[in-house]
Amino acid sequence: MTGTLDMAYPFTGRWLVQNSPANRVPSHGTAQFASSYAIDFVPVDDGRSAPLTLGSFVRPEPPEKFPGFGRTLLSPVDGTVVTVHDGERDHPAYRGLPSVGYALTQRRRVAAGWVSLAGNHVVIETDGIVVALCHLRHGSISVTRGQLVDVGAAVAECGNTGNSTEPHLHLQAVQGPDVACGNPVAVTFHGTLPRNGDIV
């Protein structure tokens, strides 16, 4: 591991913290793809994602049903955009029984590599560290490779691409330049690290 990168939250509004390295490392249960200190943020209204219904338990749901789908995402650092990937379509969300079937396809996505897991993503380099924002909404990326961005600049929208069961943001930092095989970097937000279940 290389130090800790402090950054700004890459969004506004209310977001639920999940899979935080404040609770366990590796945060996602694996150190593959430099994800040891990765963190997930789920956009919420009134502390909840989309309300659960009977239908939620038995069939996939459109991502548009979720309050955070399409929420603006911001650059958490000053830096240079080094990677933009926007080739994946948003897929349905999977809760309840559909999540079991989706979990069974996890091995295929892992075998396909980091891009398959990340879905649409933007990677920003700052002082030799790259920060990846993943699962972005198809067609929403508003920055280009080589572009300089400031903290708080709009870069994309929250989506449901890659290895994602509902619209959320997966963020990780890596001693660059290759996210797939670099060394993970711990992160904090304004000097603190939120825990699972926190609303930020």
Q: What is the pLDDT of residues 147-183, one digit of tens each?
A: 999 999 999 999 999 999 999 999 999 997 788 788 9
Helix (H) or strand (E) holding 97: helix 97-103
The arithmetic mean of pLDDT across residues 186-194, rounded, is 97
- Percent of the chain beyond pLDDT 70? 98
The arithmetic mean of pLDDT across residues 18-23, rounded, is 95
Domains annotated on the chain, with CATH: 4-189 (2.70.70.10)
39: left (phi over 0), alpha (psi -120 to 50) or beta: beta
- DSSP characters over 107-172: HHHHHH-HHHHH-SEEEEEETTEEEEEESBPTT-----TT-EE-TT-EEEEB---SS-SSS-EEEE
Q: What is the pLDDT of residue 47?
A: 65
| Residue 152, both tokens | 């708080």
Q: How does DSSP classify residue 51?
A: P
The rounded distance, in Å, linking the Cα atoms of 76 and 11 is: 8
The rounded distance, in Å, linking the Cα atoms of 24 and 15 is: 19
Nearest to residue 159, comparing CAs of 123, 132, 124, 119?
Answer: 119
- Percent of the chain beyond pLDDT 90? 74
Give residue-wise pLDDT tens across range 63-122.
Answer: 999 989 999 999 999 999 999 999 999 999 998 777 777 777 777 887 878 999 999 999
Q: How does DSSP classify residue 199?
A: B
Q: Which residues contact 172 (CB under 8 A, 6 or more apart)?
A: 34, 35, 37, 38, 39, 131, 132, 134, 179, 184, 187
- What's the pTM value of the predicted model, to 2 decimals? 0.94
Q: What is the pLDDT of residue 146?
A: 98
What average pLDDT is seen over the chain? 92
**Of 24-28, 52-56, 106-110, which has the strongest mean pLDDT?**
24-28
pLDDT confidence of 1, banded at 50, 70, 90? very low
